[in-house]
A and B are shown apart, each in its own frame.
Chain A
Amino acid sequence: MNTDAVLRINNLHVHYQTPQGAVKAVDEVNLFVGRGERFGFVGESGCGKTTTALAILQMIQYPGKIVAGEILLEGKNLVELNAEEMRRTRWREVSLIPQGAMSSLNPVMRIKDQIADAILTHEGRSARTGLNQRIEDLLVTVGLQRPVAQMFPHELSGGMKQRVCVAMAIALKPKLIIADEPTSALDVVVQRIVTQTLIEVQERIGASLILIGHDMGLQAQIVHRLAIMYGGHLVEMATVKKIFQAPQHPYTQVLIGSVPSPKTKKSPFALPGLPPALLNPPPGCVFHPRCAKALEMCRTQVPPLHEIQAAHFVACHLYR
């Protein structure tokens, strides 16, 4: 899988400039996503998972800025593309299923026009023939009915809107789909169905999927591999199996321990202290103030991401 990576992120740093100084939203992130792979991104809000996703799309907004690193999509460095080249890359090669599907559709445009917009922009006039049929087929693929094409967003339920977003995301058969907590606003039953649909269409077009979320349980059922982020750092990355069976990083261990199960009745979250202030992060490992196993060196040295076993990466001084 290593050789056939669709996406490769090397040494990514994203900073937000504020009057008080730079906020390091993403700090030294390295990862890759294989072809057809479903890759999960987990962490608390503000840990940098969404920022990393936006960085792939080059949609970091001022005052945010990618200050260092490369983002290679099939070997093409997205960071170096100019605005027009990047615009052509978006959606055609990387699409997005947004977090707020409820409000992500233009309220005054019919569904078909919003999907057509994406198709026509990237494929040009020649795509006009059979466009309506193609859009309706897309809607059917995600489990919607054909008349939905003629509707306006306000006429759809939350789950239907999310399906429209899924249909839109696969319209151009991109190599990579980024789904940013795509189901967080839906109720549990709908969540499950939409997720199932997402997996089906992703497999059908053979795209890779990055799924961003904070729900470890949900991720475990969907993705192949997981990356755990904390305070802008990627702290652990491995297959779901390894992460759940043998979590290495103390933070991952807390996260796994917090997944509720009927067998062990324990308090769901046992982590003292608050998430780190990214404006003024603690020196050394960002996690050390909350870490039960912190060593002396954790206070001074930042642990690099290290492959402790085959395809199991951890950033922690305990495993050097």
Chain B
Amino acid sequence: MTRLNHIVRFLASNWKLTAGLTILLALILFGALGPVLISEEQLQLGAGGFTKPPTADHPLGTDTSGRDMLALMVYGTPVTLKIGLIAGLVATLAGVFLGIASGYLGGWFDELVRSAADVMMTIPAIAVLVVISSFTRDMSIELMGSIIALFAWPYTTRAIRAQTLSMREHGFVRMAKISGQSDLEVILKELMPNLLPYIAAGFVSAVSSGVLASVTLQLLGLGPLSKPSVALVLNLAFNYAALLRELWWMWMPPTVILIILFIGLFLTSMGMDEIANPRLKGARAK
């Protein structure tokens, strides 16, 4: 009970995190519960007549291939989320491992990781992603997430390395070392718990940039084509000049869902930053 109280009070004190997580949770539920209400058959080509405005049968109308728009949203939202999550997870794992190792060990390993990260950061991810995905016409969701992570790990690694470096000099880490704990023990028992807020913040921003990269690629018509994702539907709307032809139901639902998704990610990320860096909270000098 007190624990619950604690959580409630914490969430109330950080409205950005609360709002962001609520939005993301709502989108996940939308994708998880939707299939119960709408059968996958609605995704079949020509299932409900071509390019029809909303009716009782198809509350959001149908697209040019006759697929139900609501079904596309319900089945497409988790696809977009999943790519971002995979990218975020891979990038965070790599960042934690490489960041702690290079920050804690230093030496040639640190030099190597830093140089690699520097080079990776100067290569525009989208350029390489475009080349890779234009040759691999139909990649899996997992592959796409991993490829995006390839360009996200330098950012998580750098953030965690910087924190590890500053913590390494702190008294409590030195104490632990002097008192005879092994490096692994120091890392797991002393560093990790203190790094957690930064890792969590890094994870959220890695997911955000993963979602952004995957959405951008899909809007260009690249990436997994066999699964309908929200961004791919919007790409289709671009191709059919849905705005010009006043087919509002074709572009508006994916746009709205993507805007909601990005706002949710943004607020969560801002809320996490306030935890990791309390000085930012309500930042304003008096």
Contact = CB atoms under 8 A, between A and B. Distances in A.
Interface string A57-79: 00001110000000000000000
Interface string B246-286: 00000000000000000000000000000000000000001
A15 to B, nearest CB: 15
A63 B285 CA distance: 11
Nearest to B286: A62
A253 B286 CA distance: 40
A235 B106 CA distance: 53
Contacts of A63: 286
B282 to A, nearest CB: 14
Contacts of B286: 61-63
Interface in B2-32: none
B281 to A, nearest CB: 15
B133 to A, nearest CB: 44
A61 B285 CA distance: 10
Interface string A35-63: 00000000000000000000000000111
Nearest to A61: B286
Nearest to A63: B286
B59 to A, nearest CB: 51
Contacts of A61: 286
A225 B228 CA distance: 83
Interface string A203-243: 00000000000000000000000000000000000000000
A62 B284 CA distance: 12
A62 B286 CA distance: 6
A61 B286 CA distance: 8
A116 B286 CA distance: 28
A32 B286 CA distance: 31
A213 B255 CA distance: 64
A155 to B, nearest CB: 25
Interface string B92-111: 00000000000000000000
Interface string B49-63: 000000000000000
Contacts of A62: 286
A63 B286 CA distance: 8
B239 to A, nearest CB: 51
Nearest to A64: B286
B83 to A, nearest CB: 43
A18 to B, nearest CB: 13
A141 B106 CA distance: 46
Interface of A: 61-63
When A and B form their complex, which 3 residue pairs have the shortest distance between CB atoms, in order from nearest? A62-B286, A63-B286, A61-B286
3 contacts: A61-B286, A62-B286, A63-B286
